[in-house]
Amino acid sequence: MAKILASKRVARKTLALAMAMMTSAFLSSCAAPGTYRGELLVATADAPYTLAAGDRLRVIVFGQDSLSNSYSVDGAGRIAMPLIGSVPVQGRTVPDVEREIAARLRNGFIREPRVSVEVEAFRPFFVLGEVTTAGQYPFLEGMTARTAVAIAGGFSPRGYQGGVDITRMIDGYPVTGRVPLDTPVRPGDTITVKERIF
């Protein structure tokens, strides 16, 4: 009898543990990075632009021609400038970078630096799936998913034309979602055209 009761207790604990693990996995998948959320992509389409590898910046330090130049953001998310060296720009906005460069120059190099930063060239976007010519393309301001597909040669005969999947880095994590064709595209986005079912 004692063995039967012990066996039932072990079975109950095992079942409870399995249920807890399944619940935890379900809840974490709901909020995990890489979730499939079209509404989040639409909501972040107008968010302030943050810099990343592949962007090229035009930095002007007024009165300092030797510092004013174009700088590419490297794979580590940095630009390398004379005097102040490597400046981290990954995930930061243009005004943040202006303040960072000015603060570094003010620290022993220039008394009152006036710095202007603008994005000279955005990082490319990518189109995959059922399009005529999948690949990497230069980003143009004001683009939508529809114009991105058009740049890639349009839909293939099997391409689903009711929407596309966009994958975008948000807070350092990839988020994928199905969005309408008129959704704005951002630099670095990957647009995937799925195959239609029939």
pLDDT digits (tens, 9 = 90+) for 40-49: 888 888 889 9
Q: Does pLDDT of 1 surpass 60?
A: no
Q: Which architecture does CATH list for 56-121?
A: 2-Layer Sandwich (3.30)
Q: Tell me the average pLDDT of the chain.
A: 84
CA gap 101, 70 in Å, rounded: 14
Residue 44 is predicted with a pLDDT of 81
What are the tens digits of pLDDT across the range 112-166? 999 999 999 999 999 999 999 999 999 998 999 999 999 999 999 999 999 999 9
pTM of structure: 0.74
The CA–CA distances, whole Å, from 125 to 34, 98, 152, 157, 174 equal 18, 25, 11, 23, 14
Instruction: Write the DSSP symbol of residue 185.
Output: P
Task: Output DSSP code: residue 46.
Answer: T
48-73 pLDDT, tens per residue? 999 999 999 999 999 988 899 999 99
| CATH class in words for 38-47+123-193 | alpha beta
What are the tokens at 36? 């499939």
Predicted pLDDT of residue 36: 56
Beta-sheet strand order (sheet of 190-193): 135-137, 125-129, 190-193, 164-170, 173-179
Where are the chain's structural domains? 38-47+123-193, 56-121
